[in-house]
């Protein structure tokens, strides 16, 4: 692990390999450890930078206002990278899209896995699913909240916990407990959002964009993946990956790695 000062914050990252640069941006329920299977695979052809977003994992959170997409480009600047491909899962995909819209010349390609985008709204179906699968939990009880979120996101609405690798559930809950602490801290800091948001600006993404999702993830996200691929001029929609939900790269690394190696410039 290395640390580097970006826009007044110390961000933690790992770097491996050489070649065209690729930045991995983790999910909001995780940290950079979720890419443990992608780093060695991609490093055979690429310079891979695996970063903890500000406040998450081993990165710090100063109280000053900031934007995650500014941090991503600040990281590129600090590492002397003119342009990089961004690979984002879940919230990391949202950050990647915002970065590409705010700094279009800095992003060579986007790979989005189970990703929402800024300005997108959840359907009533998803809200009801949350109530059914998670229900009321004490937000300060990170253990209980993480268990509920992992049930919702990592197991997904179409599977039972016993259908999923218990080690994946354990690791996801451990990462999410740390992420919940990060989110609580982030709630006290002004996090600047992209304005206008991405949902009505997808056609502005002029770089190649690969979009994928787990077959057991929320229907909202699979529909959104269809929309992104349709509206982006160079959009490519991967078939939904069977027996996988929201943390697709962690749960099914083989098809994800193959798709990324085939797609990334």
**Tokens 């590492």, residue located:** 79
- The pLDDT, as a whole number, for residue 138 is 77
- The pLDDT, as a whole number, for residue 136 is 78
- The pLDDT, as a whole number, for residue 226 is 98
Residues 6+ apart with CB under 8 A from 68: 53, 54, 95, 98, 99, 191
- The pLDDT, as a whole number, for residue 78 is 98
Mean pLDDT by 10 residues, the chain (265 residues): 96 98 98 98 98 97 96 98 98 98 98 97 92 79 93 95 96 96 93 96 98 97 98 97 97 98 97
- The pLDDT, as a whole number, for residue 130 is 87
- The pLDDT, as a whole number, for residue 141 is 87
- What residue ranges in 140-234 does DSSP mark as E strands? 209-212
Torsion, CA 113, CA 83, CA 42, CA 216, rounded to 10: 0
Question: Residues 11, 59: contact at Cβ < 8 Å?
Answer: yes
- H or E element: which one contains 109? strand 107-113
- The pLDDT, as a whole number, for residue 27 is 98
Could you tell me the pTM of the whole model?
Answer: 0.96
Query: Mean pLDDT score of the chain, rounded to an integer?
Result: 96
The string of DSSP letters for 122-147 reads --HHHHHHHHHHT-S--TT-HHHHHH
């Amino acid at each position: 692990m290395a640390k580097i000062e970006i826009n007044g914050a110390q961000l933690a990252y790992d770097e491996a390999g050489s070649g065209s640069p690729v930045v991995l941006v983790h999910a909001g329920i995780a940290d950079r450890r979720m890419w443990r299977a992608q780093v060695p695979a991609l490093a055979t052809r690429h310079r891979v930078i695996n970063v903890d977003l500000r406040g998450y994992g081993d990165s710090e959170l100063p109280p000053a206002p900031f934007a995650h997409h500014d941090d991503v480009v600040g990281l590129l600047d600090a590492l002397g990278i003119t342009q990089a491909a961004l690979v984002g899962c879940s919230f990391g995909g949202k950050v990647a899209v915002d970065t590409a819209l705010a700094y279009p010349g800095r992003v060579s390609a986007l790979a989005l896995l189970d990703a929402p985008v800024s300005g997108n709204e959840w359907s009533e179906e998803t809200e009801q699913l949350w109530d059914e699968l998670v229900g009321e939990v004490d937000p300060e009880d990170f253990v209980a909240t993480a268990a509920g979120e992992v049930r919702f996101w990592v197991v997904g609405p179409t599977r039972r916990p016993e259908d999923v690798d218990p080690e994946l559930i354990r690791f996801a809950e451990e990462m999410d407990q740390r992420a919940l602490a990060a989110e609580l801290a982030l709630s006290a800091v002004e996090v600047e959002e992209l304005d206008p948001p991405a949902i009505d600006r997808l056609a502005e993404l002029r770089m190649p964009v690969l979009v994928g999702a787990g077959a057991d993830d929320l229907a909202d996200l699979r529909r959104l993946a269809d929309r992104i691929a349709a509206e982006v001029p160079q959009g490519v929609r991967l078939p939904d990956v069977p027996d996988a939900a929201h943390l697709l790269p962690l749960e099914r690394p083989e098809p994800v790695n193959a798709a990324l190696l085939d797609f990334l410039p």
